[in-house]
Chain A
Amino acid sequence: MPPRFEQADVTLDDVDAIFNESGDSRNLVVERREEGPVVPATMNAFELISTSQGLNLSSLFEKQMGLVKRETRFTSKCSANEIISKIEEAAMPLGFDVKKNNYKMKLLGEKTGRKGHLAVTTEIFQVAPSLCMVELRKSGGDTLEFHKFYNNLSTGLKDIVWKTTDEREVEEKNGSAAGSTSSQ
Chain B
Amino acid sequence: MADKYNAETIITETQKRISNAFDVFDHESNKTVDVREIGTIIRSLGCFPSEAELHDVIAELEEEEPTGFVRYEKFLPTVTKILLERKFRPIPEDLLLQAFEVLDQQKRGHLEPEELTKYLTQEGEPFTQEEMDEMLSAAVDPDKNISFYWQDGHPEKQTKWSSNNRVDEMGSSDTQTAVAGTSGAAIT
- A and B from one complex: no
